[in-house]
Structure formats: C-alpha cells, structure tokens
Amino acid sequence: MTYNPPLTPRPPHEVAGAGRPRVMTTAQLRSHGVSAAEANGQCRSGGPWQQLLPGVVLLHPGPPTSEERLHAVLMYAARERATAVPAQPGAEGPHVAAYPEAMITGLAALTLHGFSCTPPLPSLDVIDVLVPRLRRLRSTGCARIVRTPVLPAPEQVTGLPVAPVARALADAVAGLSDAVVVRRLMTEAVRGAHCDPASVVRELTEARLLNRPHVLDAVDSLLAEGRVIAEDRLYRMVRAFGLPDPVWNVDLRLPGGPYLGGLDAYWPEQAVALELDTRAPRQDDDALWSEYARKREHLERLGITVVHITPRKLRDCPEQQATVIRTALMASADRDPAAHVVVLPR
C-alpha cells in the first residue's frame, strides 16, 4: 500500500500567486493544502475568489477571460478524472493540459478552429463541451453538456482539446434554427478547407439532423459548393502535374445506342475516364453507389478505364492522384483497343 502525504498547507493567497493557474478545481486546491472550508470562504461575496462552476474556482475577483472560461468548462466536465493542473495562461512550470473524456465543441470549437462567421468567444453565453453519453453531468452556468456514444479523437487547438470541425459543426447546427446562419457555417467549412462535405453530412446524419428542412437545404448547397471546389482542384491538378488535357464534363453514348453516363473528364485517345466521387453518406447512398458501380462495369466492359477520385484525396494528396491518372494513361498502350463511343458535351 502506498501513501501520498498531503502537501504542506499553503495560504490561499500563495496558491493564487503570480505564475500559477488562475482556474482550479476544488480537488486541485486540496492537493495544494487549501481545504473546502477555506475555498468557500475565499469565494464569499466580495472575496478574492469566485466559484465559476460547481467544483471549479476562479482565483481572482474580476470577470473570467475567454481562456479561463474554456479551461473552467473542461475542468467541470473532466473533474471526476482529471488530477493534473492543466497549463493555463500565466502559469509556469511543466503542467499537463489533460482533460480526459471532455472536449470543446459547437460554436466555441468552430471559433477556435478559425471560423470567421462564428461569434467571438467573449460573446458566447455558453460553451458546449462534448462528453461520453454515460457521464453523470448536467449543463450549468457557462457549460452546456453535449453527449455522444463515442467520443471522436480531439484536436489540440491553442493547447485545448477541441472536437474535429465536422463534429463541432453538427453540434452547433443542432442548436440553430436560422437557415442563413446554418448555410453560412457549412459554406465556410468547405470553402475554408476545414473539412470535406462528406464528413459534414456523415456527422449530420448520425446526429439525425437531416430531417430538418433548413438543414437539408443547407446540405444541398454544401454538396454543390463542394463539387465546384473539387472540380477547380481537378483542373489545377491536371495543369500543375503536366497531364495531357482531357475533354471536360462530357456524356458518353454508343453510336446509335444507349447513354453510357456522364464523366468529369475523358481522355479519348487513351480511353481513360475520370469521375469525381462526390457521394455523401445519406439515405440513398447504397442506391447511388450501385449506379456508380453499374456505370463503371459497363464502361470497363467496353475497354474504358475508369478512375474514381474523391474530393478529399484531391485536397490532401493531388500529386498521388495525378500519378494514378498518368499510370492509367500510360497503361492504355498495353490494352486492347476500346469500343468506339460518341463523346458529347454536357
């Protein structure tokens, strides 16, 4: 059996001295020798401290800064497990910024991720914090609890655990009824390259938000926006990596026969077709994928090589995608000639 003796009691004013964290849990204060009674006395009206949230104490009398509120919300949500004193503004020494099973989400998270259309942190009355569904916590003060069956891996932003953009966006949208605001958030998520449309739709689907008309309208605009951006990246990739120019946005038909499908790019001499896979995980995903698969199989039976590229791969690894296309173009010399098809502009 091990025994960790308590630290030598320290006067409250020394705990809140220069270079020390300005927000602490009552458990952390006890580890510094400040009893619950002493902490309560410091937090009385007119005292030098204040209780910002249950079990979380602000070690100065003035209003909290945005950073202090963020730390306080995380401390409140993680207080049952967190034991180390997190690094905070003004603190010195090797502190550990660890908040187990808690992360900032919603509008505050989007602001931390650098969104320009979200409110500044000081104007937010509440800060959303994501926790596991079975945690026994309630929303109170400036902390609003958002529950999830499975926590995503947090991203570190300014030393704080923050939900990934797509998840934070879904949590923000869940509390918004203004269609203009929802559309603006989704548009910035895609235009600002914070995330791809498919990941946004996936999170909205899991949150069961696509049954709201204003959210569904915004998703349709988001997917259209995402396709335009992906097409622009595709044009730039072809130019940047010296690929031969294809014919863009065409339909294929057999001579005097049926329609074969539309393509984003086609190299007639090499019989190589390219299609941007902009599917999103919605209810009709299986049917849409079946349509993609049927078209691909039909074209390949005619000797046409089909290359599928996702917007995310275009964004994250364009050189690799250019290599895939170049390889398909070079391999055409070793294949049997493709069937003759009619190429029509879309």
Q: Where are the domains of the chain?
A: 234-345
pLDDT digits (tens, 9 = 90+) for 235-277: 999 999 999 999 999 999 999 888 998 999 999 999 999 998 8
Residue 95 banded pLDDT, cuts 50, 70, 90: very low
Task: Supply the CATH classification number for the domain 234-345.
Answer: 3.40.960.10
Identify the DSSP state of 120. Answer: P
pLDDT digits (tens, 9 = 90+) for 14-25: 555 544 568 999
Average pLDDT of 318-328? 95
Question: Is pLDDT above 70 for 208?
Answer: yes
Whole-Å CA distances, 184 to 117, 169, 225, 285, 311 = 7, 11, 12, 25, 20
Between 42 and 85, whose confidence is greater?
Answer: 42
Contact 121, 111 (CB under 8 A): yes
3-state secondary structure string across 291-308: HHHHHHHHHHHCCCEEEE
How deeply is 181 buried, as exposed, middle or buried, from its count of CB atoms within 10 A (0-12, 13-18, 19+)?
middle
Beta strand 127-132 with 143-148 is parallel
Identify the DSSP state of 140. Answer: B
Whole-Å CA distances, 25 to 75, 231, 289 = 7, 51, 51
Identify the DSSP state of 121. Answer: G
Nearest to 309 by CA among 238, 222, 205, 217: 238
Q: How confident is the prediction for the chain on average, in pLDDT?
A: 85
Distance in angstroms (rounded) separating the CA atoms of residues 263 and 257: 18
Of 138-142, 205-209, 222-226, the range with the lowest mean pLDDT is 222-226
The widest CA-to-CA distance across the chain, in whole angstroms, is 92
Distance in angstroms (rounded) separating the CA atoms of residues 338 and 301: 9
The reported pLDDT for the residue numbered 2 is 42
Residue % of the chain over a pLDDT of 70:
85
The reported pLDDT for the residue numbered 13 is 52
Question: Is pLDDT above 50 for 333?
Answer: yes
Distance in angstroms (rounded) separating the CA atoms of residues 163 and 181: 20
Distance in angstroms (rounded) separating the CA atoms of residues 136 and 129: 13
Question: Is pLDDT above 50 for 287?
Answer: yes
Residue 93 banded pLDDT, cuts 50, 70, 90: very low
For tokens 């398909």, the residue is 328
pLDDT digits (tens, 9 = 90+) for 165-201: 999 999 999 999 999 999 999 999 988 889 888 889 9
How large is the C-alpha radius of gyration of the chain? 28
pLDDT digits (tens, 9 = 90+) for 114-159: 999 999 999 999 999 999 998 889 999 999 999 999 999 999 999 8
Of 138-152, 172-186, 288-302, 325-339, the range with the lowest mean pLDDT is 288-302
**Other C-beta atoms lying within 10 Å of the C-beta of residue 136:** 6
Helix then strand then coil, in percent of the chain rounded to 5, is: 40, 20, 40
Nearest to 278 by CA among 338, 246, 234: 234
Of 65-74, 142-151, 306-315, the range with the lowest mean pLDDT is 306-315
What is the per-residue DSSP string for 196-212?
Answer: -HHHHHHHHHHTT-TTS
Contact 47, 134 (CB under 8 A): no
Cβ-based neighbours of 207, under 8 Å, separated by 6 or more: 170, 171, 173, 174
Distance in angstroms (rounded) separating the CA atoms of residues 126 and 143: 6
